[in-house]
Amino acid sequence: MDATGAGYPGTWSEFVSWFPDEAACLGYIERLRWPDGMACVACGAGRGWRTGQGRWWVCAGCARKTSVTAGTIFDKTRTPLVEWFAAAWWVTSQKYGLSAKGLESALGLGSYQTAWMMLHRFRVAMARPGRERLSGRVEVDETYVGGDEPGVRGRQTATKSILAIAVEVKEPKGFGRVRLAHLDDVCAQSLVPFVCEMVMPGASVMTDGWAAYAGVSGHGYAHEKTILSASDDPAHVSMPGVHRVASLLKRWLLGTHQGSVSPQHLDAYLQEFVRHEALSNRVGCKAPPPGCRSSPVKLRAA
């Protein structure tokens, strides 16, 4: 069920019957934004009339014009709402998402740039403000994307993008929600704030022996540290959740987006990945994904 009390179109034919034209799309947004009728953001009046321009209303109290799409991802765009709605349907109906080239082809859009812009707005909107932080037992680690980098070891990097990963560990087995972020480095000034932002105080934070994580215990967390070099188990066994997420993420970047992701937009792509994982629940599957050791992901230059 959505906020209007209806379901969602499950097939393309259902989508076309729900949203055949601009008026149907506008009516749907109005029911979502103004379930009790038009509401003026300036004076709070609940009365007004629609102009002949479709999206625009005039407040009966202060005569201010307002658009039902103002403040949304559809604001100030010349792309018809029917195409926006169709793009949203295609993106959410595909298990692994959709690339800009795929969306351009599916909808017959005028340009790749239009498809990319639409997808990017969707990605930014996928990060829900004030979402709940992870709780319970949480694995935290980093991974790197950006292709091969000869001559470096461990956490050293000069060209790759650094990603922090946090994954809830369920009892007795399985994994829960995932959080990701693009970091500048792997020092304590970057990693500890990541933990504080993504994990609820009181949780047990499980990390490897990297010294930068030592400070998390001073922020209300129980810190469980595993020295991987001293462990009989390989890293993907000692900390399976973060390694599963890293593998799935790299395969998704290579498969859906062919690695064509610029570092400055990487955070938005991470939000899309987290959203798709929440819907598909692949992280929580019992068996390790095939090809766990994925190929290096080479990102497009900025």
Residues of the chain with pLDDT under 70: 1-6, 53, 230-232, 279-302
Identify the CA nearest to 285 among candidates 173, 171, 172, 166. Answer: 173
Give the model confidence (pLDDT) of 204-239 as tens digits.
999 999 999 999 999 999 999 988 776 667 777 788
Nearest CA to 48 among 21, 29, 30? 30
d(CA 87, CA 128) in angstroms, rounded, equals 20
Residue 230's pLDDT is 64
Tell me, yes or no, whether 114 lies in a domain.
Answer: no
Give the β-pairing of 65-67 and 56-59. antiparallel
The total of structural domains in the chain comes to 1
Mean predicted lDDT score pLDDT of the chain: 85
251 within some domain = yes
Widest CA span in the chain: 73
Report if residue 294 sits inside a domain: no
Residue 198 resides in a domain: yes
pLDDT of residue 53: 65
pLDDT the model gives residue 292: 36
Express each pLDDT in 108-158 by its tens digit.
Answer: 998 999 999 999 999 988 877 788 999 999 999 999 998 778 877 778 888
Could you tell me if 166 and 194 are in contact, meaning their C-beta atoms sit under 8 angstroms apart? yes
What are the residues whose beta carbons fall under 8 Å from the beta carbon of 217, sequence distance 6 or more? 223
Domain that holds residue 192: 137-280
Q: Let me know if residue 151 belongs to a domain.
A: yes
CATH number at residue 225: 3.30.420.10
Residue 175: inside a domain: yes
How high is the pLDDT of residue 107? 93
Q: Quick check: is 88 in a domain? A: no
Does 38 fall in a domain? no
Phi, psi of 24 (to 5 degrees): -65, -40
